């Protein structure tokens, strides 16, 4: 069986399973809704006035009882409760217990929207229309995730659109962290009744600039603080990746995943590749790589299936769909126990994984990569869906 046939078979199987699980979920709705959410976030712990800005807690919920909590400080997803195969709800994202921990503790990107540019830009430099720009340097000699004060460290305007949907908006001023143009950004989150967390990014500019927005949630399908994720079974719909140098900057080529630890075209547990002596695993300290997503298969909205992750014990399954051409797999390599979660457990190495849908790293300096330029009069728009199911 060739790989395309395999991927198509996987998608068809997931659709059949999804239909069965949707019926199962509907049967379990009353039981789910009666449960108490463990380590539930308190609105009083996420309320503060900073100058003229109000920081508060925003909570959305779908009919199945799946619940997501956000703060408009850094536009962060701070908790996400989803059911296991027995209907038990647990929080599956890493986060901190109070607003003060986010604002005054060590810098982190837990659950945050990342911008203006997710991932790395070599030496923080790029040119637009012959003009050179210098960004903040905050990752060795490179620029990472928007700079010293990125989108994760500012206050956004929040607006509840419905009980299951919330919108955040802000204007990133011209030359903020070195980026040209006033960028008007809106991000909308919706919890559908198909158990999807749908994220829609939109942006407009008054001057040509570069944009690459993503969400930096850390997932552990066992539940936050309940061990490492190295036994999670991962499928990534990508035949190629962008290899990196010692600074984790792409070297400019697309290379096949075949025969490497980065081959997830058939599902395998994450730990299989972590002991590899492959150069890319050594350079990344584990998985910290961008995958070039195949263009098929897609869901009913035309979004590409990027990944599917299963945690066998709980039965939780997460699928990722996106309109972006790439996705970064990060295995929590730099977590070191210096922060603790909402349940008081430390965030240990490999205690979560990130699947960050994106344009490729360093695209402004790589003419062969998909362009991240946004012109005045154009609208940047992308969609990512994290869909949750359970195995039987």
Q: Residue 81: in which H helix or E strand, if any?
A: strand 76-83
Residues above pLDDT 90, as percent of the chain: 89
Among residues 216, 232, 289, 347, the one annotated as catalytic is: 216
pTM of this prediction? 0.91
- Report the pLDDT value the prediction gives residue 392, as an integer from 0 to 100: 79
User: Could you tell me the pLDDT band of residue 13, with boundaries at 50, 70 and 90?
Assistant: low
Per the annotation, the verdict on 90 as an active-site residue is: no
Asked if residues 304 and 385 have their Cβ atoms less than 8 Å apart, the reply is: no
Q: What CATH number corresponds to the domain at position 216? A: 2.70.98.10
pLDDT tens-digit series, residues 298-330: 999 999 999 999 999 999 999 999 999 999 999
* Average pLDDT of the chain, as a whole number: 92
pLDDT digits (tens, 9 = 90+) for 185-202: 999 999 999 999 999 999
Pick 28 or 89 by higher pLDDT: 89
Range of the domain at 326: 3-390
Residue pair 370/307 in contact by the 8 Å Cβ criterion:
no
What does the DSSP assignment read for 155-204? BPEEEEEETTEEEEEEEE-TTGGG--S-EEEEEEEEE-TTSEEEEEEEEE
388 pLDDT above the threshold of 50 = yes
- The catalytic residue among 152, 224, 310, 356 is 356
DSSP string, 229-258: STTSEEEE-EEEE--B-TTS-B-S--EE-T
Total structural domains in the chain?
1
């Amino acid at each position: 069986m060739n790989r395309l046939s395999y991927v198509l078979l996987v998608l068809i199987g997931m659709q059949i399973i999804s239909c069965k699980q949707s019926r199962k979920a509907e049967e379990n709705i009353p039981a789910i809704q009666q449960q108490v959410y463990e380590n539930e976030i308190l609105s009083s712990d996420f309320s503060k006035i900073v100058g003229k800005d109000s920081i508060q807690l925003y909570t959305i919920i779908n009919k199945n009882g799946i619940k997501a909590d956000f703060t408009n400080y850094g536009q962060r997803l701070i908790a996400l409760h989803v059911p296991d195969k027995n209907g038990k709800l647990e929080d599956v994202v890493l986060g901190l217990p109070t607003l003060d921990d986010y604002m005054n503790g060590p810098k982190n990107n837990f659950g945050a929207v990342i911008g203006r540019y997710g991932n790395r830009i070599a030496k923080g430099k790029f040119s637009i229309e012959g003009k050179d720009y210098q960004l903040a340097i905050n990752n060795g000699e490179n620029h990472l995730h928007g700079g010293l004060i990125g989108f994760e460290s500012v206050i956004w305007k929040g607006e509840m659109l419905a009980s299951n949907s919330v919108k955040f908006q802000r204007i990133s001023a011209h030359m903020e962290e070195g980026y040209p143009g006033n960028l008007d950004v809106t991000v909308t989150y919706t919890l559908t009744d198909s158990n999807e967390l749908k994220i829609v990014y939109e942006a407009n500019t008054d001057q040509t600039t570069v944009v690459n927005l993503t969400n930096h949630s850390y997932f552990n399908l066992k539940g936050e603080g309940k061990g490492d994720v190295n036994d999670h079974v991962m499928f990534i719909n990508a035949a190629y990746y962008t290899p990196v140098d010692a600074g984790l900057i792409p070297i400019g080529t697309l290379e096949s995943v075949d025969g490497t630890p980065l081959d997830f075209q058939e599902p395998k547990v994450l730990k299989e590749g972590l002991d590899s002596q492959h150069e890319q695993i050594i350079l990344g300290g584990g998985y910290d790589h961008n995958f070039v997503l195949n263009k098929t298969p897609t869901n009913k909205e035309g979004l590409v299936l990027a990944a599917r992750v299963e945690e066998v014990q709980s039965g939780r399954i997460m699928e990722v769909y996106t309109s972006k051409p790439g996705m970064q797999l990060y295995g929590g390599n730099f977590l070191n126990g210096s922060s603790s979660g909402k349940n008081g457990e430390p965030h240990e190495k490999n205690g979560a994984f990130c699947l960050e849908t994106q344009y490729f790293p360093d695209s402004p300096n790589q003419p062969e990569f998909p362009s991240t330029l946004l012109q005045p009069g154009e609208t940047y728009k992308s969609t990512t869906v994290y869909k949750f199911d359970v195995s039987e």
